[in-house]
Amino acid sequence: MEIVVQCSGGGAEDALRSLGRWLEADSAVRRHAQVAPGSARPAIPGLQGDLLDLITLLVSSGFSAASLAVSIASWRASRPSPPEAVIVRVAGEQIEIPGDASGEETEAMIRRLFEG
């Protein structure tokens, strides 16, 4: 399964880099997911590359939505200023977690996304 995570607002690229490092350091996520930074925009020949605008997680069958929910909620709580929103897409469904959402709200939203 593929999970795509994006951030919106000012500093979104830095926020995604930070989140990517956080997810890679989380043993519960790392055990069942491959974290890869990327861009939704196609590459333009001759240019160095695009900005980072998404993170893709390729997950195995042992992956737990709860692990991702806790990891994202913990990362957001560690930020001096969380991004405007964190967007998570799975199997054509999408949620947008507002910057002022609590850790509990974040976890509940991600769990509902995986259950729906």
For the domain made up of 2-42+49-115, the CATH class stated in words is alpha beta
What rounded mean pLDDT belongs to the chain? 88
Top pLDDT among 41 and 112 is at 112
pLDDT digits (tens, 9 = 90+) for 31-76: 999 999 888 766 666 655 556 789 999 999 888 888 999 999 999 9
pTM of the model: 0.87
Top pLDDT among 49 and 106 is at 106
Domain ranges of the chain: 2-42+49-115
Average pLDDT over residues 9-32: 92
pLDDT of 16 higher than 70: yes
Helices (H), the chain: 12-25, 27-30, 65-78, 103-115
Provide the pLDDT for residue 8: 92
The CA distance from 107 to 71, in Å, is: 9
Contact in structure between 90 and 59 (CB atoms under 8 Å): no
Average pLDDT over residues 85-98: 94
54 to 24, 62, 104, 116: CA distances (angstroms): 15, 23, 24, 22
